[in-house]
A and B are shown apart, each in its own frame.
Chain A
Amino acid sequence: MGNVVQRRTRGALRRCPFEVCGNMAGLELLSDQGYRLDGRKATELRKVQARMGVFAQADGSAYLEQGNTKALAVVYGPHEMRGSRSRTRHDQAVINCQYSMATFSTAERKRRPHGDRKSTEMSLHLKQTFEAAVMTQLYPRSQIDIYVKILQSDGGNYSVCVNAATLAVIDAGIPMRDYVCACTVGFVDETPLADLCYAEESGGVSSLALALLPRGGQIALLQMDARLHQDHLEALIEAAMTACKGVSKVLDEVVRQHLQEVSVLTGE
């Protein structure tokens, strides 16, 4: 028994020496009555609110809240390639994504808003997601920039970013195959939980993030780095897809309402 062992297990062992099952000491993520910590049921999403066209300078922009996670997405382009020309693609547009978190977005002030490994990874994921959704072949030799900033973080950062960016891309008038909608799902007590909040994400749940093109049911990105029994994977993906479709309904409503407002303003 090395030192490491003692340090890592001491807390749990002290409380109850022969605790064998579950994380009793922690939070109860799903009550017997089927309610989660914040009062949602397993399949229910957090409240989604969004606005499009929040900035005039950019080509497209959107603000999206999913519960307490809030994100701002801004899109520039398509425009000519900037910076190194070597990245230019002759058959399609290049998508450039940058993800960052505001220093005030977490409970403890963040030191470095962007450029750390996590943000870089997230940027890459976003890039992959939108490469699958945006019809890049329409804009050869050009570039589309998507900037997303998390203003407040409460779990599901990736999905909120994707959802916000989708609205921003639509606002910019860039054609997409479909809305890209994303959602995280977790697995607790044999039940998939949709749209995890931070408390759930950090409570030792195996979670999975999925970005979906809902109409065709194509998966744009699927990411999971937790352990999960393979028997459960299908159920979890199923739940994630249902949740994504839920999100797409909301986004669709937001877009339609925005169009209505704009058309009233322009007098069409």
Chain B
Amino acid sequence: MKTQYCFKKRLRLYSLFIVVMLKSKTFVKKTRSGGVMKIVREHYLRDDIWCGSEVCTECKQESTVLQRDACIESSLCSYPHYLIPDTNVVLHQIDVLEDPVIRNVIILQTVLQEVRHRSAPVYKRLKDIVHEKEKHFYTFTNEHHRETFIEREPGESANDRNDRAIRMASKWYSQHLKTSETGADGLKVVLLTNDQGNKQKAEDNGLLVYKCEEYIKSLIANPELVDHLALSNDEKNEITSSKVLFPEHLPLSKIQAGIKSGSFLQGTFRASRDNYLEATVFVQGEGEDSTEVLLQGLQNLNRAVHQDVVAVQLLPRDQWVAPSSVVLQDEGAAKDDNAEEEDEEKETSFSVKPTGKVVGIIKRSWRPFCGMLNVAQIKESTRHLFTPADRRIPRIRIETRQAATLAGQRIMVAIDGWPKHSRYPNGHFVRSLGSAGEKDTEQEVLLLEHDVPHQAFSQAVLSFLPKMPWAITPEDMVRREDLRNLTVCSVDPPGCTDIDDALHCRELENGNLEVGVHIADVSHFIRPGNALDKEAANRGTTVYLCGKRIDMVPELLSSNLCSLRSNVERLAFSCIWEMNHKAEILKTRFTKSVINSKASLTYAEAQMRIDDTSMNDDITNSLRGLNKLAKILKKQRIEKGALTLSSLEVRFHIDSETHDPIDLQTKELMETNSMVEEFMLLANISVAQKIYDEFPDCAMLRKHPPPPPSNYDILLKAAKSKEVEIHTDSAKALADSLDVAKVDGFPYFNTLLRILATRCMMQAVYFCSGMDSDFHHYGLASPIYTHFTSPIRRYADIIVHRLLAVAIGADSTYPDLMDKHKQSALSNNLNYRHKMSQYAQRASVAFHTQLFFKSRGILNEEGFVLFVRKNAIIVLIPKFGLEGTVFFDTKDKAAPNLVFDEEVPSLKVEEHTFCIFDKVKVTISLDASNVQHQKIRMALIEPVIPGVSVPAPDVGPQAKKPKLDR
């Protein structure tokens, strides 16, 4: 006791720790060049590491994590107890540990480190649990505790040592809790391990030890936990016959040797969407020469799952085959219309491709999969098959007792393993997402399947938010310009709560105009490197779904502190130009500022003010000035060759009570839309130039590469069929020829042509200026471009804000901002998130369209042929902005006589020839035959082709599934 006191005093005096014991850890490590290096590290052991229990009176801890009353109803342990899981339990049963029922768990440092080493995702989840206060998970730093540290014995493997360390710590805990004075209430620790040997040794040491399965099954009050259990490999009660179905995977050492010697190839496994017996492996070669290896047959696929990194061995040349053109769904799953893809395959069916077999798995990329349960035929059975929503993922066998409840629900399942004598991989139930077909459930599914991070923000992230009530402090004002007196206003779509831009325009004394774009100063609130920043960087973008927004930053920022609402003081980053009346920029400056927006308008309101000649207030005059300049700017931009392309965006009118879509209309564009857009573009270009001048190596920019000429083929052919010529030599030529492309009596032709042109384009991407030399933005015809104007919903803008702030001396820099490799990695993530968010948005629109048509029954609409395929035409319904495919052949019926001409392109069905832009009439209905893959189905009404078209049905609910032919 006395020594302890002394030590504490010293600690306070010197802030220096006098060590109780000093150990040296010595180990050898192989260096990159192949040499062996001896590494010596110090290892301090301390006696001020506390046990974290409420019960303990001995430890001088300030706060405790583990509760006194650690009761959970278990038939094995009737006393209050703490759990200590070993590494494998954490790695495999993290789903169980995440369950709110499991509380009061001690995570040993040994376990935490091993988990960190073995699986980054599980490590992150474990850390999240530890941070959650209600879970009462305590991390015990056993490796640095004087009484629980053990040294590796000669001949002992690292794993064995770690197991022993875990047993040692458990033992220490059980004795420690026993000796503490109030320990009389029988508090015990229970070690959970699945390792038989470890369990035996622990029992010999007199510890309470259970297998994880054993323990979870003993929790009588919470039987649902059992479903979360991952199936371990040593469970021998498989229903499959003992017959080995698959060849053994090779160990990693052999695979590596094989890859080095060239006998194996390493690549990413891509399962075929249409044929469960077929897959390709994409082998990334040096530079350009990447190859694809075809795999056929269950044996050759050898338990690889989509996206796994695998090693393949090529088969002898005489066994090479061609990809099959058959659509094969695994055992009786509902058939779908995939004729389209099938036909494409037929084309190549004569060419034999390199064929191989999987010899080993290098890295699994298993994640939890969304899907639905196929309830087993036998009622009492607890084993069921699960069909993932993604057709490329095999079905998974899981064990559950709640099959009856789960049937008809969307659930998530994780794969645990795929033994060689099992036809399907084994998995376990993770959680239910809700009933299939329901809006919330489907939304959840599409977010998960598109990898959109959408969990609520963690406590760690929220802790970096400013404290409310928030006000602008004098310190904030020091480095900012006071622009509160300016007549600033914002123009946005109706219902917008995350307003990130505002504008102003006023006449200067010298007759010139001053125009300002004011962007929410998000980088003031999100400081580099903290949890909030990391979370935003990971999310990358706000995702807008129909009726829902997945924020990139917490709502306090996005809808309040950063949102430039009217009549409140807000921090902004302003870009201010002095222009003459010809919209020529005379001066540009950037400054951090404080503004007070005078009005938040919608596009329609702003338009009304501009048009209403009786209004003459400051805001309206400012808007008029802006509008005038914007028109000039737009003209200049179009002269330079910027493209105005078209894509139909639809807007749903959502019923305010049921949240079901009740109407659907294509978005309307007003003059004010383009007014705001024009100034945003101008600000983005000005900022891009500025940050590139200041930081040529690490500016984050956005480029839009010109499409390869072959992309335009379809557009050229389509235009030619209407005798219109399109030039694609440059963006300007394209824009000009699109402008003049008109066909008499066909007003919609130009829009259709622009839609087609949009499809030819490449994706715009973020990049780091130090890593690329081509900056051109093709669509906007600008030599340089970036994103600056929406920092609330795009992370790239935050980076650009930081760069600009450094450039004007308003903020300081930090290392990652100037590191082009890190910037480049960040832009990759942003591009990926951006792409996925677009897919998610499209999927959400598609789902809402389905809901809309579900409530409508069958509709007859007019549309235009957008593309012609070998066996189908793709029809666009302008009224709904909806695209659908009309198939002319189905698998079960004889196809009509089809003649496809690729040159025109046209498709002759019996007597009628379809070309692009043809006007047709179709019925639209919802095909709900496959619950997981509902889709809009279209069938032809006009032109009438005997045997192909359908009679126009009376709009009514009885005909749920219109027949495609006859």
Residues of B with C-beta under 8 A to A243: 15
CA distance A39 to B24 in the complex (A): 12
Evaluate contact between B825 and A12: CB separation under 8 angstroms.
Answer: yes
In Å, the complex CA distance between A37 and B144 comes to: 10
Residues of A within 8 A of B39 (CB): 107
Residues from chain A with a CB closer than 8 A to the CB of B256 are: none
Residue A95 interfacial (CB < 8 Å): no
Flag if B537 contacts A21 (CB, 8 Å).
Answer: yes
Contact A33 B22 (CB under 8 A): no
User: Which B residues are CB-close (under 8 A) to A246?
Assistant: 14-16
Q: Scan B29-46; emit 1 where CB is below 8 A from any A CB, else 0.
A: 000000101111111111
Q: Which of A8, A230, A231 contacts B821 (CB 8 A)?
A: A8
Which residues of chain B from 6 to 63 have a CB within 8 Å of any chain A CB?
Answer: 13-19, 22, 24, 35, 37-46
Stretch of A24-32, A111-119, A141-149 contacting B (4+ beta carbons < 8 Å) = A24-32
If the complex has contacts A249-B13, A249-B14, are A197 and B41 also in contact, measured as CB distance less than 8 A? yes
Asked whether A31 lies within 8 Å of B141 as measured between CB atoms, the reply is yes
CB of A90 within 8 Å of the partner chain = no
Interface residue from A47, A68, A108, A199 paired with B19 (Cβ < 8 Å): A47
User: Which residue of B has the minimal Cβ distance to A34?
Assistant: B141
A1 touches B18 (CB 8 A): no
Partner of B43, one of A9, A38, A194, A230: A38
- Min Cβ gap A60→B in Å is 25
> Which residues of chain A from 221 to 260 have a CB within 8 Å of any chain B CB?
226-231, 242-243, 245-246, 249-250
For A12, A13, A33, A228, the residue with the greatest tally of chain B CB atoms inside 10 Å of its CB is A33
Chain B CB within 8 A of A17 CB: yes
Extra contacts, 11 of them, besides A5-B824, A40-B17, A206-B815 (Cβ < 8 A), are A18-B825, A20-B538, A21-B537, A28-B116, A31-B109, A31-B112, A44-B15, A108-B35, A154-B40, A243-B15, A249-B13
Residues of A within 8 A of B812 (CB): 229-231
A107 adjacent to B38 (CB under 8 Å): yes
In the complex, per-residue mask of A186-219: 1 if CB is within 8 Å of any chain B CB, else 0: 0000100010010100000010000000000000
Q: Are A16 and B813 in contact (CB under 8 A)?
A: no
Smallest beta-carbon distance A120→chain B, Å: 26
The one of B44, B537, B538, B772 in contact with A39, judged by C-beta atoms closer than 8 angstroms, is B44
Would you call A96 an interface residue if the criterion is a C-beta within 8 Å of the partner chain's C-beta atoms? no
Chain B residues near A31 (CB-CB < 8 A) = 109, 112, 139, 141
CB pair A32 B832 closer than 8 Å:
no
Within the complex, what minimum Cβ distance (angstroms) separates A148 from chain B? 21
A206 and B818 CA atoms in complex are apart in Å by 15
Question: What 1/0 mask marks residues of chain B from 746 to 773 whose CB sits below 8 Å from any chain A CB?
Answer: 0000000000000000000000000110
**Contacting residues, chain B, for A228 (C-beta < 8 A):** 815
Set of chain A residues within 8 Å of B16, measured between Cβ atoms: 44-45, 246, 249-250
- Interface of A: prevailing SS: loop
Known: A33-B139, A68-B42, A107-B37. A5 touches B537 (CB 8 A): no
Who on chain B is nearest to A152 by CB?
B40
- A227 lies within 8 A of B814 (CB): yes
A38-B44 in contact given A5-B771, A47-B18 (Cβ < 8 Å): yes
Instruction: Report the separation of the CA atoms of residues A46 and B406 in the bound assembly, to the nearest whole angstrom.
Output: 58
Cβ-defined partner of A40 (8 Å) among B44, B127, B538: B44
List chain B residues, Cβ under 8 A from A41: 17
Does A19 make an interface contact (CB < 8 A)? yes
A35 CB within 8 Å of chain B: yes
Q: Mark B62-93, 1 if CB is under 8 A from A, else 0.
A: 00000000000000000000000000000000
Please, could you name 30 A-B residue pairs with CB atoms under 8 Å apart, sorted by A? A5-B771, A5-B824, A8-B821, A9-B821, A9-B824, A13-B825, A17-B828, A17-B832, A18-B538, A18-B832, A19-B825, A28-B113, A31-B112, A32-B127, A33-B141, A38-B41, A38-B42, A38-B43, A39-B43, A39-B46, A39-B141, A40-B44, A45-B17, A68-B24, A68-B41, A197-B41, A197-B42, A229-B812, A231-B812, A250-B16
- By beta carbon, the residue of chain B nearest A248 is B14
A68 to B143, CA, bound (A): 19
The interface bits of chain B over 526-566 (1 if a CB of A lies within 8 angstroms of the residue's CB, else 0) are 00111000100110000000000000000000000000000
The answer on a CB contact under 8 Å between A20 and B826 is yes
Task: For the complex formed, measure the closest distance between the CB of B748 and the CB atoms of chain A, giving whole angstroms.
Answer: 42
Chain A residues engaging chain B, CB cutoff 8 angstroms: 1, 5, 8-9, 12-13, 16-22, 24, 28, 31-33, 35, 37-41, 43-47, 67-68, 107-108, 154, 190, 194, 197, 199, 206, 226-231, 242-243, 245-246, 249-250
Q: Which residues of A are found within 8 Å of B45, using beta-carbon distances?
A: 39
Question: A195 — nearest CB in chain B belongs to which residue?
Answer: B16
Residues in chain B near residue A21, CB distance under 8 A: 529, 534, 537-538
From residue 820 to 878 of chain B, which have CB atoms closer than 8 A to chain A?
A: 821, 824-826, 828-829, 832
Task: Say yes or no: is B1 at the interface (Cβ < 8 Å to chain A).
Answer: no
Contact B144 A35 (CB under 8 A): yes
Cβ of B120 < 8 Å from any Cβ of A?
Answer: yes
Closest to B16 in A: A246
**CB-CB nearest in chain B for A46:** B42
Question: Does A229 contact B41, Cβ atoms closer than 8 Å?
Answer: no
Total chain B interface residues with beta-carbon distance under 8 A = 52
Please tell me if B520 contacts chain A, counting CB pairs below 8 Å. no
User: Do the beta carbons of A35 and B825 come within 8 Å of each other?
Assistant: no
Interface membership of B130, Cβ < 8 A:
yes
Chain A contacts of B112 at CB under 8 A? Answer: 31
Q: Which residues of B contact A5 (CB under 8 A)?
A: 771, 821, 824
A-contact 0/1 string along B653-678, CB 8 Å cutoff: 00000000000000000000000000
Chain A residues in 8 Å Cβ range of B14: 245-246, 249-250
Q: Which residues of B contact A33 (CB under 8 A)?
A: 109, 139, 141
Instruction: Check if A229 sits within 8 Å of B829, measured CB to CB.
Output: no
A18-B829, A39-B43 known; A190 vs B529 contact (CB < 8 Å): yes
A21 to B112, CA, bound (A): 20
A32 touches B37 (CB 8 A): no
- Assess A1 versus B771: contact at CB under 8 Å? Given A28-B116, A40-B17: yes
Most buried by A among B14, B40, B131, B824: B14
A38, closest chain B residue (CB): B42
Give the residues in chain B near A24, CB-CB below 8 Å: 120
Contact B143 A227 (CB under 8 A): no
Query: Which A residues lie within 8 Å of B821 (CB)?
Result: 5, 8-9
**B813 and A229 contacting across the interface, CB-CB below 8 Å:** yes
Smallest Cβ distance from B283 to chain A, in angstroms?
A: 15
In the complex, what residues of A have CB within 8 A of residue B120's CB? 16, 24
Q: Identify the closest chain B residue to A1 (Cβ).
A: B771
**A107, closest chain B residue (CB):** B37
CB B531 to nearest CB in A, in angstroms, measures 9
CA distance A33 to B145 in the complex (A): 13
With a CB–CB cut-off of 8 A, which chain A residues contact B815?
206, 226-228
Q: Which single member of A17, A19, A37, A227 contacts B818 (CB below 8 Å)? A: A227
Task: State which of B130, B143, B537 has its C-beta within 8 Å of the C-beta of A20.
Answer: B537
Which chain B residue lies CB-closest to A249? B14
CA distance A35 to B45 in the complex (A): 11
CB distance from B301 to the nearest CB of A (A): 24
Q: Which chain B residue lies CB-closest to A24?
A: B120
A150 to chain B minimum Cβ distance, whole angstroms, is 15
A107 CA to B120 CA, complexed, in Å: 30
Complex contacts, A231 vs chain B, CB 8 Å: 812
* Min distance, Cβ A249 to any Cβ of chain B, angstroms: 5
CA distance A233 to B772 in the complex (A): 33
User: Measured between alpha carbons, how far is A9 from B40 in the docked complex, in Å?
Assistant: 28
Interface string of B363-395 (1 = CB under 8 A from A): 000000000000000000000000000000000
Shortest Cβ gap from A156 to chain B (Å): 12
- What is the CA–CA distance of A178 and B824 in the complex, to the nearest angstrom? 49
Q: Which residues of A contact B116 (CB under 8 A)?
A: 28
A11: nearest residue on chain B (CB-CB)?
A: B32
Which residues of B are found within 8 Å of A197, using beta-carbon distances?
41-42
Q: How far is the CA of A18 from the CA of B825 in the complex (A)?
A: 7
**For the complex, what is the distance from the CA of A153 to the CA of B46, rounded to whole Å?**
24
Report the nearest B residue to A41, measured CB to CB. Answer: B17
A20 to chain B, nearest CB (A): 5
